[in-house]
């Protein structure tokens, strides 16, 4: 296929729209179902690069959940604990533990379920039936993978009455080393960001504490590769082989750190016994996500308010107070944090500490590096300077 005609571009008024190879060669994809749109393909190609690089760096199957050209979640294929399964709504799936790819997807899709609503999914490996069953029951726009088993494809083709977007990409495709795009009729050209992220980038440890365990190395690699395909400014919290909080596209780095830290906090709070044992009535998965978010964040229209809780619960749940939440979060340690550019102030470290961060990777190079290092030392954190910015626009 030389080109694919799109219904429209980013918005319905932006026509005509198509994807094609500038050199006239065949596209490295095959559309097996549906009709993906302009933004679908932006998410597909960015997310595919992310999972491909995660697999290459860590050696495990990887999955990502993308929305509006930034990841809502990304993860490696590590088995889930019972609490993680329940928090991700996958504790009922047979064969999950036998499929690392399904574990990766469950983690990526289950981390920030509200932001993943209507996502694009990327898989590093051919989709198997267990993963397909997980995908089928989520609200999603489409999926990209290097292949699909016969059973998996049949399962996915049942989604959206047969119109679900399913894309197969050639895993051996190598893009041109020079990229182009246009803005306001003006063409930009740059070399692709082929910077390979791995353990070598974490060797320049600048803090007094230099103990960086293997799990932290893995999690920092997950965070940095996730940031490589996240709209900047961005930071990423990671734990247990998955991105647990992504702060994307903020003009201020502290706002990135707060946004992502709040998401990381929610991920851990979802595993608290009060949340896992909420006495739900029979609700759809998206409704349950919304109620859990409101319960944790105690919004003004609190789901436990008088006359409101009856819509969602068999009985009125106990409140989950701010004091209880803070006490629980204070027990969390071992979280990793990556930043796509240097931290200009130590307030980022102070905020990261509140979400259990013990390990940090950032480029370094700020005139206030000393203050940032001093703050890390105050909390016994380990910080590595990567010397490489990871802006993505």
Q: What is the pLDDT along the chain (393 residues), one digit of tens a residue?
A: 899 999 999 999 999 999 999 999 999 999 999 999 999 999 999 999 999 999 999 999 999 999 999 999 999 999 999 999 999 999 999 999 999 999 999 999 999 999 999 999 999 999 999 999 999 999 999 999 999 999 999 999 999 999 999 999 999 999 999 999 999 999 999 999 999 999 999 999 999 999 999 999 999 999 999 999 999 999 999 999 999 999 999 999 999 999 999 999 999 999 999 999 999 999 899 999 999 999 998 765 667 776 778 889 999 999 999 999 999 999 999 999 999 999 999 999 999 999 999 999 999 999 999 999 999 999 999 999 999 999 999
> Is residue 390 assigned to a domain?
no
- Name the domain boundary from 174, 203, 234: 174
Same domain, 142 and 114: yes
Paired strand residues for 17:
6
Same domain, 167 and 154: yes
pLDDT on residue 241: 97
Same domain, 67 and 119: yes
Separation in Å, CA 107 to CA 72, 117, 198, 237, 240: 11, 14, 21, 14, 10
Same domain, 12 and 130: yes
Same domain, 208 and 86: no
Give the gyration radius of the chain's Cα atoms: 21
pLDDT on residue 303: 72
Q: What phi and psi, each to the nearest 5 degrees, are found at residue 158?
A: -80, -15
Same domain, 230 and 363: yes
Asked if 249 and 233 count as a contact pair (C-beta separation under 8 A), the reply is yes
| Crossing angle of the two packed helices 38-58 and 214-228, in degrees rounded to 10 | 160
Same domain, 84 and 166: yes
Same domain, 351 and 229: yes
Asked if 332 and 268 count as a contact pair (C-beta separation under 8 A), the reply is yes
pLDDT on residue 298: 77
Question: What separation, in Å, do the N-terminal and C-terminal C-alpha atoms of the chain show?
Answer: 28
- Please provide the DSSP assignment of 221-245 as one string: HHHHHHHHTSPSSEEEEEETTEEEE
Q: Which structure tokens are listed for 28?
A: 């490295």
> Is residue 188 assigned to a domain?
no
The pTM is what?
0.96
Q: How far apart are CA 213 and CA 225, in angstroms?
A: 19
Which bin fits 357, alpha (ψ -120 to 50), beta or left (φ > 0)? beta
> Is residue 222 assigned to a domain?
yes
Burial class, 180, CB count within 10 angstroms (exposed 0-12 / middle 13-18 / buried 19+):
exposed
| CA 315 to centroid of chain Cα atoms | 34
Expressed as residue numbers, the domain containing 50 is 7-174
User: Is the preceding omega at residue 16 within 30 degrees of 0, hence cis?
Assistant: yes
Domain count, the chain: 3
For residue 225, what is the domain's CATH number?
Answer: 3.40.140.20
pLDDT on residue 299: 66
> Is residue 128 assigned to a domain?
yes
> Is residue 33 assigned to a domain?
yes
Q: How far apart are CA 244 and CA 356, in angstroms?
A: 12
User: Is the preceding omega at residue 233 within 30 degrees of 0, hence cis?
Assistant: yes
Same domain, 70 and 204: no
> Is residue 139 assigned to a domain?
yes
Q: How far apart are CA 323 and CA 329, in angstroms?
A: 10
Asked if 222 and 243 count as a contact pair (C-beta separation under 8 A), the reply is yes
- Name the domain boundary from 121, 145, 174: 174
Same domain, 281 and 356: no
> Is residue 162 assigned to a domain?
yes
Q: Among all residues, which ones are annotated catalytic?
A: 67-68, 233, 393
Same domain, 237 and 289: no
Same domain, 241 and 352: yes
Which bin fits 249, alpha (ψ -120 to 50), beta or left (φ > 0)? left
> Is residue 83 assigned to a domain?
yes
């Amino acid at each position: 296929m030389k080109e694919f005609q799109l219904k429209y571009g980013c918005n319905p008024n932006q026509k005509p729209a198509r994807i094609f190879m500038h050199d006239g060669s065949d596209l490295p994809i095959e559309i097996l179902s549906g009709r993906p749109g302009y933004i679908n393909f932006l998410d597909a190609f960015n997310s595919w690069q992310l999972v491909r690089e995660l697999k290459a760096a860590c050696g495990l199957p990887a999955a990502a959940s993308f929305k509006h050209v930034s990841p809502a979640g990304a993860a490696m294929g590590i088995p889930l604990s019972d609490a993680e399964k329940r928090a991700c709504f996958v504790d009922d799936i047979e064969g999950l533990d036998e499929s690392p790819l399904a574990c990766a997807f469950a983690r990526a899709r289950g981390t920030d379920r509200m932001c993943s609503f209507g996502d694009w999914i990327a898989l590093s490996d051919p989709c198997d039936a267990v993963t397909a069953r997980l995908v089928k029951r989520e609200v999603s726009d489409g999926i990209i993978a290097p292949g699909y088993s016969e059973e998996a494809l049949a399962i996915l083709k049942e989604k959206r009455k047969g119109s679900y977007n399913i894309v197969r990409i050639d895993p051996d495709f190598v893009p041109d080393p020079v990229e182009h795009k246009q803005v306001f009729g003006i063409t930009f050209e740059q070399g692709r960001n082929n910077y390979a992220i791995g353990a070598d980038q974490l060797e320049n440890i600048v803090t007094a504490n230099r103990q960086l365990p293997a799990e932290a190395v893995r999690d920092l690699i997950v965070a940095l590769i996730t940031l490589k395909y996240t709209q900047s400014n961005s930071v990423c919290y990671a734990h247990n082989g998955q991105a647990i909080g992504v702060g994307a596209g903020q003009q201020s780095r502290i706002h990135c750190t707060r946004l992502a830290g709040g998401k990381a906090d929610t991920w851990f709070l979802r595993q608290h016994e009060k949340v896992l044992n909420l006495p739900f009535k029979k609700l759809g998965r998206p409704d349950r996500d919304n109620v859990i978010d409101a319960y944790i964040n105690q919004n003004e229209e609190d789901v436990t308010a008088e006359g409101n809780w009856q819509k969602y619960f068999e009985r009125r749940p106990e409140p989950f107070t701010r004091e209880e939440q803070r006490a629980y979060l204070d027990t969390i340690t071992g979280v990793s944090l990556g930043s796509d550019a240097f931290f200009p102030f130590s307030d980022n470290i102070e905020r990261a500490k509140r979400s259990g961060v013990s390990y940090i990777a950032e480029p370094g190079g700020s005139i206030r590096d000393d203050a940032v290092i001093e703050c890390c030392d105050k909390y016994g954190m380990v910080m590595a300077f990567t010397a490489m910015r990871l802006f993505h626009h």
